[in-house]
Structure formats: structure tokens, C-alpha cells
Structure 1
Amino acid sequence: MTEATYTVAGMTCEHCARSVTEEISEITGVQDVAVDLGSGAVTVTSAETLPTDAVRAAVSEAGYELTSD
């Protein structure tokens, strides 16, 4: 099991957090997604290391921008 934290720009409310969580959760191997709205941090727990491009695409699909990984 691995854990990675990313920074996502533009999230301002619980709806934002849910959208990002739902999209990232669809990536194969993801077991948990935790969002901290205050800092924009998104911590992803997965079976193995996820490709950053997959996380970036999921965040983009939710309407937000991955600003760091």
C-alpha cells in the first residue's frame, strides 16, 4: 500500500471535494481519498504508486488543476 499527497487548486467547498474524490476514486487501485479544503491537499491511498498523469487527468475531469505532486 502506498500514500501520496497532491495539491489541487480551485477547491472551495464540500461539493468540490466530493467531485475530486469521486474522479480520483475511479482510478484502478485507489483505496481511499482524503481532501483538506483549507490547504488544497489531496491524499490518495492506493495498492501501488499511481502515475501522476492519471491523477492529473482525474482532477482535470473534476474541473480542477493539480498544481503539485
Structure 2
Amino acid sequence: MPTKPQGPASYFPSIEAKYGRSIDEWKTAMRESGLTAHKALVEWLKSEHGLGHGHATALTQHHLNPEKWAS
């Protein structure tokens, strides 16, 4: 039986469905933004791309700490 995603990855299917971009596309956009602080990235995703707070936080956590969330 496949394991259910944990942590931020558990939000990924709904993020992709709601906002129409893949997680890789979001991570590329985050890298290209030049922002590196958690709060700045969350606020940028919310203000520039209309993400909700939970989705923006999940993407940011995974983007800034990929080794913590590796499967």
C-alpha cells in the first residue's frame, strides 16, 4: 500500500489542482524570486500569486528544507 505524503507534501495535490502549476514550477518561481527568508517567500506567494496561507507555507517549508521532507 502506498504511503500517504506527510508534512508539506500532503498539500501538493491540492496546490497543483487549485493553482494550475506543478510543484516544480512553483519551486522554480520561488528560486527565481531571489527571496530566501521564510516570511518573505510566504508573503510573496500570497500577494503575487494568490495562494492561501497554508499552501504558501507548505511550499516554502519544502522549498527551504527539502532534506527534512525527503521521502
Bigger-Rg structure (1/2): 2
Work out whether the TM-score is over 0.5.
no
Q: Which has the higher strand share?
A: 1
What is the TM-score of this pair, normalised by structure 2?
Answer: 0.36
Higher RCO structure (Cα 8 Å, ≥6 apart): 1
**TM-score after normalising by structure 1:** 0.37
